[in-house]
Amino acid sequence: MDTAAIRSDFPILHQTVNGKPLAYLDSAATAQKPRQVLDALNQYYLHDNANVHRAVHALGERATLAYEGARAKTARFIGAPHARQIVFTRNTTEAVNLVAYSWTDRLTPDDEILITPMEHHSNMVPWQQTALRQGCRLRYMPLRPDGNIDMQKLPEYLSPRTKLVALTHVSNVLGVTNPVAEITALAHQVGARVLIDGAQGVPHFKVDVTAIDCDFYVFSGHKMCAPTGIGVLYGKLEALEELTPFLYGGEMIATVSLEASTWKELPWRLEAGTPNISGAIGLGAAVDYLESIGMDAIKAHGDALTAYALEVLSAMPGVTIYGPLTGRTGLVTFNLADIHPHDVSTVLDQEGVAIRAGHHCCQPLMRWLDVPATVRASFYLYNTAAEVDMLAQALERTREFFGAR
Ligand SMILES: Cc1ncc(COP(=O)(O)O)c(C=O)c1O
């Protein structure tokens, strides 16, 4: 992979911060956008802007073609058999909530939802609320000490009471990639539906929802070089058919009378109101961009950088790494001696290094790790080994500054 050529596609990376060259190591929070995606947004707003699905004029047709074209590209990108299986949302969080509101009316107090303690709050709080609303039980899969799901104990947590299993494809703290196909097969044996949170998966490797066989798969555009404000709910057609619309109004109806209304077919019945047209077009451009580089090359680059960062950081005095030391996708989570992660982040920022400090929207996982917060460095296709070295040097200076050992 030609990282120098890739970096030239990202104007934002070529700046100094506090007088130092920027090392942007926070792509797990949001990825930077290449010129190709920005050009697609400009093309739409400068030449094609119109509302979709309704207008019978040239601009309306172009906008509709571009919007629906983005849906088809997104479907192909994740191995969905049909574009109708892609519902555009604002982000992962909204996609999870759409299922949590629209599918879970059927749950009764005898039923169980099974998730993991490593979920992002976005894939935990909606299920807590669902359990409260429906009076059903929320259970958590067991984790091994290294942070991987304990697959030997998992069958004890699955029974005909289990109606929904929801878990992340890749943990945004531990970096582990969960065996989602294996867990989906086990969940299907007891008749449960399965939702996978792919927010940290789709940006980094080729995802094939058909091979995983999950019922729902959700992700955000902004973590894969697309604009903010566009996300995806993929579903098997029979699973999406079970969703009762959650928002009602324009765009989602087939007929309306004073007494009653009927709905459009999928996926439009789940996309009420004027959608994020430019966001979807930007997502389509991001898919084109990632595919032009190749998801296998992106994965190999991310794996190599993560392995290098693990090697460098684990050799540094005072660094504690959380999660397994191998098989991680795109990020390293750690603490430096007893220096608060926010202080580490502040000193690193002075050195031009942008990382994330805090609970990473995973407070229960922080409790499981027995820390209030951590530092997280995350990598994407435009990052380099030199930036990992910048991180290590900046950490060394942080340690000296705080007199830590
Ligand atoms: C694993 C995981 N799930 C869900 C989310 C939520 O994504 P969004 O804020 O785009 O809805 C994130 C974002 O950090 C994440 O890392």
CA of 358 to the centre of ligand 1 (A): 15
Pair (44, 164) in one structural domain: yes
Q: Is 333 in the pocket of ligand 1 (CB under 6 A)?
A: no
Q: Which of the 8 DSSP states describes residue 198?
A: -
pLDDT digits (tens, 9 = 90+) for 311-365: 999 999 999 999 998 889 999 999 999 999 999 999 999 999 999 999 999 999 9
The Cα 175–Cα 378 span in angstroms is: 10
Compute the average pLDDT of residues 148-162: 97
Q: Is 92 in the pocket of ligand 1 (CB under 6 A)?
A: yes
Is 370 within the bounds of a domain? yes
Higher pLDDT, 14 or 104: 14
Is 32 within the bounds of a domain? no
Considering only CA atoms, which of 272, 219, 284 is closest in space to residue 83? Answer: 284
Is 395 within the bounds of a domain? yes
Pair (260, 315) in one structural domain: no
Catalytic residue among 136, 214, 225, 361: 361
Last residue of a domain, one of 292, 307, 331: 292
Is 357 within the bounds of a domain? yes
Is 64 within the bounds of a domain? yes
pLDDT of residue 56: 87
Pair (217, 311) in one structural domain: no
Nearest residue (CA) to ligand 1, atom 16: 172
Compute the average pLDDT of residues 90-119: 96
Is 174 within the bounds of a domain? yes
Q: Is 27 in the pocket of ligand 1 (CB under 6 A)?
A: no
User: Read out DSSP for 274-339?
Assistant: S--HHHHHHHHHHHHHHHHH-HHHHHHHHHHHHHHHHHHHHTSTTEEEES-SSSB-SEEEEEETT-
What CATH number is given to the structural domain containing 324? 3.90.1150.10
Residue 397 has pLDDT above 80, yes or no: yes
Last residue of a domain, one of 292, 316, 345: 292
pLDDT of residue 404: 78
Pair (52, 22) in one structural domain: no
Range of the domain at 92: 37-292
Q: To the nearest whole percent, how much of the chain has pLDDT over 70?
A: 100
User: Which two structure tokens, joined as six digits, stand for 275?
Assistant: 């959608």
The Cα 195–Cα 115 span in angstroms is: 10
The Cα 356–Cα 3 span in angstroms is: 23
Pair (98, 237) in one structural domain: yes
pLDDT of residue 55: 81
pLDDT of residue 403: 87
Pair (285, 299) in one structural domain: no
pLDDT of residue 54: 81
Q: Is 383 in the pocket of ligand 1 (CB under 6 A)?
A: no
Pair (107, 16) in one structural domain: no
Start-to-end CA span in the chain (Å)? 38
Mutation probe of ligand 1 site: the residue of 173, 180, 195, 200 with most atoms within 8 A of C-beta: 200
Pair (255, 360) in one structural domain: no
Is 31 within the bounds of a domain? no
pLDDT digits (tens, 9 = 90+) for 169-205: 999 999 999 999 999 999 999 999 999 999 999 999 9
What CATH number is given to the structural domain containing 234? 3.40.640.10
Pair (241, 346) in one structural domain: no
The Cα 296–Cα 28 span in angstroms is: 19
The sign of the dihedral angle between the CA atoms of 14, 16, 20, 22 is: negative
Q: Is 329 in the pocket of ligand 1 (CB under 6 A)?
A: no
The Cα 345–Cα 386 span in angstroms is: 19
Pair (209, 280) in one structural domain: yes
Q: Which atom number of ligand 1 is nearest to the Cα of residue 168? A: 1
Known catalytic residue at 361: yes
pLDDT digits (tens, 9 = 90+) for 377-388: 999 999 999 999
Q: Which of the 8 DSSP states describes residue 196?
A: E
pLDDT digits (tens, 9 = 90+) for 291-314: 999 999 999 999 999 999 999 999
Q: Is 91 in the pocket of ligand 1 (CB under 6 A)?
A: yes
Q: How are the residues of the chain apportioned to helix, strand and coil, as percentages rounded to the nearest 5?
A: 45, 20, 40
Last residue of a domain, one of 270, 292, 314: 292
Mutation probe of ligand 1 site: the residue of 220, 224, 359, 362 with most atoms within 8 A of C-beta: 220
Compute the average pLDDT of residues 258-263: 96
User: Which two structure tokens, joined as six digits, stand for 296?
Assistant: 């296998």
Pair (337, 287) in one structural domain: no
Pair (148, 236) in one structural domain: yes
Count how many domains the chain has. 2
Is 54 within the bounds of a domain? yes
The Cα 270–Cα 284 span in angstroms is: 20
